[in-house]
Structure 1
Amino acid sequence: MSAAEAHLCRGCRSTRGQVVLDLGDQPAADHFPLATDPGPDPRHPLAMWWCADCGLAQLLADATVPDEPRAIEPRAAVRQAHEAVAELVGAGLLVPGGFIEFASPHGGSWRGALEECGFRPAQGDRAGVVIDVYGLMHDRDQAAGLRARAAALTDDGTLVLQFPTYAATVRRREWNALRHGHFAYHSVPAARRLLDAAGLTAFAARTYSLYSGSVLLLASRSGAGPATEAAALDELERAELAAGVLDPTAMAALGAALEDDVSRLRRWVDDQPGGAWLYGAGSRAVAVLAAAGLRPGAVAGIADGAPAKQGRRMPGTDIPVVAPEALLAADPDHILLMLPDLADELRDAWPSMADRWVVYGSH
């Protein structure tokens, strides 16, 4: 890449960095063709670039156009929203008042959880609490995105920023976390640097198991907060540094994991008589199934509760996305769950099938 073509960091505009994961040409994770569409589906370069200056892992390039959001919010995400708001208010880290929420294409909202605890939507364009849960990662320009969130804060306001942490991606070697439309993969140290550049300072953090591992940061202009919270935040940052979020050598394991994951998937599918059954047509499943190149008909179907995905097929494959009723009617002995966050929800919904779920990554 020439100097004229050098990638500019989406956060700090540096050109110092390197590609740490390259998946080649992949179908867009949000483009679900109709089941009757024979393809071939468009494919686009998909690579992750890491900035050596601010530490932000990010999408190198993206020529795709966002498609209609088709996912539905898992019960685990709704529960976490209510638990997080109640805990932050109880700890005195948030004070009920007006709020502004930056929407996420992942769907869902914290509005209900906030209103239960006495918050109300702000009447103007600034608020004492600004919420961003899984939204910022979808901004091509990360610096501009954070400036917009900072501008929505009152002078003494608090930003609540939640993201799937890149530390979990590196620890778990989740190469399939990379997808078109997700422009940033935040770690605590990188997020703190970007917040500082936007005039905000993180003063507290919480961690959650949602989406393989998520972090919630609280930030304000003053950065004032309890000393115990600051110490816990610093400890979380040290743990993420130890995981390798600023070490491109550690990130090399992401690419090495791809073939292992795909090989395990192929073996599991081949062992299922009459065609395998899967559940959860999420973006991470798109990457895995497109990379696996399974033989035609190897997967009987992938069930998903989102009506907008049903009647379509997984991008880059012949695998049909069907309603859960089709899976129940097939009554398979084993079902590969591609979205681990749904495990408890599905076992509760269909107790007679509770022992048939095989969670992706453990198969």
Structure 2
Amino acid sequence: MSTDPVRFVTACRVCGSERWQQVVSFGKVPLANGFLDADGSHEDEEAYPLEVISCRTCRLLSLTAVVDPQVLYRTYSYVTSGSETMARHLRTVVRLCGKRVDLAGGGLVVELGSNTGDQLLAFRAAGARILGVDPARNLAAIAVDRGVPTLPEYFDSATARAVADEHGKAALILGRHVFAHIDDVADVLAGVRELLAEDGLFTIEVPYAVDLVEQLAFDTIYHEHLSYFLISTLDALFARHGLRTVDVERLPVHGGSVLVSAAPAEGPWRTHDRVRALIEQERAAGYLDDAVYDAFAARVRTTCTDLSRLVRGLVADGHRIAAYGASAKGTTLLNICGLGRTELEFCTDTTPQKQGRLTPGTRIPVVAPEDVTRPPDHYLLLAWNYAEEILRKESAFLEGGGRFIIPVPEPTVRGEAVVSR
């Protein structure tokens, strides 16, 4: 049996094609959530190829290298953000799902990759029965302590059968920012068919490939995100596995996402016009052809060069710079732009699991906000998807002359507070 933690993609996980367009390569990058102990040498820190390709048949955007999920997820440092933005978003997901599924009647909601249970608690408040499935044992234990029943397992067809036997069929199976992490989508969708009620819905939230390209959110490319989907790609995938795409909503969270619902093809649900409209928009905008992805790669190279030049120029002029938000996307950004402890004094973050540790690859110390005794002149905002909320929160820093560097889609310096609405 091979012990290599990396498998390289040959056939598309959606359609089986081997016709690929090379889009962008970042070389070898450490795992996005592989934060390091502060007292080690870390000479053995692993890095893995980070390269994106596009299937010329169905236009799935895929990483070439699939890292063993046991390496990625059994102990995991990412927890659902406690920000105002995310709290509102979790309520929005409940509201949108509640338009189609009877939550108040105690229907079963099963969440894949349920993390510490924040989303399921919002569904419980709406009247649903809840069950989480998450392979990260450390996070599943936290969820259980919070009163959220959680299986510390990967979701597959065998897990689905066990859940159905014990809990009955699910009215809703939800996967928020987890479906893009899955390599064997066929087995997961077989599990969905096992567990989902005939009139139930399978709803996923994934990064939208159109937003990735248009907003130049290249730092959301990391080893956990194996796939970046168009609606047309998802529609083809669902049809291949006996499901019908029912509806789609575009949402701003995480730099641009889509909430997509599918149902058994033989069930009562029909496809909303929004689905067909977005598929046509993708075709008309050129997302089924090579040129869009070639242009994306060129813009990525320009932004990386400009950001590195901006940060190093400020440091050369005597400015003190730190990072704000030890996000997974920050690992990609810092490593591919070559920004480390020479440029950034520290990284501030509210996540206890990351505090007192070092950022992957770049070895920048992560500190709690309350431990920052001497603020920098500039913060490089790695958690740029929460920019407006952070700029409101840090109004005192800005009013005192501090500045934020927003890295994408092109580097900009912000010095004004955002007025609360």
Asked whether the equivalents of residues 175 and 257 of structure 1 are also in contact (C-alpha less than 8 Å), the reply is no
**What corresponds to 2:404 in structure 1?**
357
Which amino acid in the other structure matches residue 359 of structure 1?
A: I
Percent of matched pairs sharing the same residue: 26
1:275–1:352 Cα change, 3 Å: closer
Deviations 1:83-131 (A, max 9, x none): 2322443xx4222242232332766542122222222227615211111
1:133–1:115 Cα change, 3 Å: same
1:63–1:121 Cα change, 3 Å: closer
**What corresponds to 1:43 in structure 2?**
47
**What corresponds to 1:246 in structure 2?**
288
Q: 2:78 aligns with which of 53, 71, 77?
A: 71
Deviation of 1:295 after TM superposition, in Å, equals 6.4
Deviation of 1:52 after TM superposition, in Å, equals 2.4
For residue 299 of structure 1, give the secondary structure of its aligned residue in structure 2: coil
Q: How many residues align?
A: 354
1:330–1:314 Cα change, 3 Å: same
- TM-score scaled by length of structure 1: 0.88
Deviation of 1:139 after TM superposition, in Å, equals 1.3
Which amino acid in the other structure matches residue 99 of structure 1?
A: L
Which amino acid in the other structure matches residue 168 of structure 1?
A: D
Asked whether the equivalents of residues 171 and 243 of structure 1 are also in contact (C-alpha less than 8 Å), the reply is no
Between 14-23 and 24-33, the greater mean CA deviation after superposition: 14-23
1:208–1:179 Cα change, 3 Å: same
1:292–1:35 Cα change, 3 Å: farther
Partners of 2:304 and 2:24 lie apart in 1 by 16
1:201-240 maps to which residues of 2 (within 5 A)? 201-222=244-265, 224-225=268-269, 230-240=272-282
Deviations 1:187-223 (A, max 9, x none): 1111111111121111211111001111011211247
Which amino acid in the other structure matches residue 217 of structure 2?
A: E
1:159-308 maps to which residues of 2 (within 5 A)? 159-222=202-265, 224-225=268-269, 230-270=272-312, 271-272=314-315, 273-294=318-339, 296-308=341-353
Asked whether the equivalents of residues 340 and 363 of structure 2 are also in contact (C-alpha less than 8 Å), the reply is no
Which amino acid in the other structure matches residue 366 of structure 2?
A: V
Between 15-24 and 345-354, the greater mean CA deviation after superposition: 345-354
For residue 13 of structure 1, give the secondary structure of its aligned residue in structure 2: coil
Asked whether the equivalents of residues 32 and 314 of structure 1 are also in contact (C-alpha less than 8 Å), the reply is yes
Deviation of 1:158 after TM superposition, in Å, equals 1.1
Gaps of at least 5 residues in structure 2 are: 1-7, 132-165, 413-421
For residue 53 of structure 1, give the secondary structure of its aligned residue in structure 2: coil
Deviation of 1:151 after TM superposition, in Å, equals 2.1
Gaps of at least 5 residues in structure 1 are: none
1:108–1:250 Cα change, 3 Å: farther
The alignment's C-alpha RMSD in Å is 2.5
Q: 1:7 aligns with which of 7, 10, 21?
A: 10
Deviation of 1:280 after TM superposition, in Å, equals 1.4
- TM-score scaled by length of structure 2: 0.77
